[in-house]
Amino acid sequence: MAMKRNIFKRVFYFYYDGFRNMTVGKSLWLIILIKLFIMFAVLRIFFFPNFLKSNFDTDKERSDHVIEQLTNTK
């Protein structure tokens, strides 16, 4: 009778063995991680400034502005 392991351990080892045996996939994952880093870290700094932090001093002012923008029907 085979020893039955926990489902989480089996899922972990399934992916662990899959990643360990990859050849081309490791390079592709490296490219994906570099691309995600560029998208979220580098581009965020230059193209997505924190509007609320730079234009309002307190949390109350920020929340009032957000509520006003969300409820503004124009």
DSSP string, 23-50: SHHHHHHHHHHHHHHIIIIIHHHHH---
Pull the structure tokens for residue 18. Answer: 């899959």
Q: What is the pLDDT of residues 22-33, one digit of tens each?
A: 888 888 889 999
What pLDDT shows up at residue 66? 92
Q: What angle do CA 29, 35, 40 make, to 5 degrees?
A: 125
Query: Is a pLDDT exceeding 90 seen at residue 40?
Result: no
Model-level pTM greater than 0.85?
no
Residue 66, C-beta contacts closer than 8 angstroms, at least 6 positions apart: 52
Torsion of the alpha carbons at 33, 37, 43 and 49, rounded to the nearest 10: 140
